[in-house]
Amino acid sequence: MTDHFILDALFMGIGLFTAVASITNWNFFFNHRKSQLLIKLLGRNGARIFYSIIGFGFFSVGLLSALGVIVLES
């Protein structure tokens, strides 16, 4: 395994976890103290949309890097 593969897998894993947590509205994810400010600013549904976009963005970066379309410097 190379560092490149590990970094790509990490990006895809974090992105997938974040997107699934926001789409399925997991309470433990949104009750965490670090997400409370975003929920206060955007509301719960706004925070879910924000986290979905961030999650899909992370997943896309990992996938594009794994396919060789973009290069992540490590």
Residues 42, 48, 63, 12: is their CA dihedral positive or negative?
Answer: positive
* Residue 55 burial by Cβ neighbours in a 10 Å radius (0-12, 13-18, 19+): buried
Say what the pLDDT of residue 4 is: 82
At residue 25 the predicted structure's pLDDT band, cuts being 50, 70 and 90, is very high
Q: Is the pLDDT of residue 43 over 80?
A: yes
Residue type, 27: N
Reference 2, options 64, 58, 61, 74; nearest CA is 74
Say what the pLDDT of residue 1 is: 55
* Residue 62 burial by Cβ neighbours in a 10 Å radius (0-12, 13-18, 19+): buried
Say what the pLDDT of residue 71 is: 84
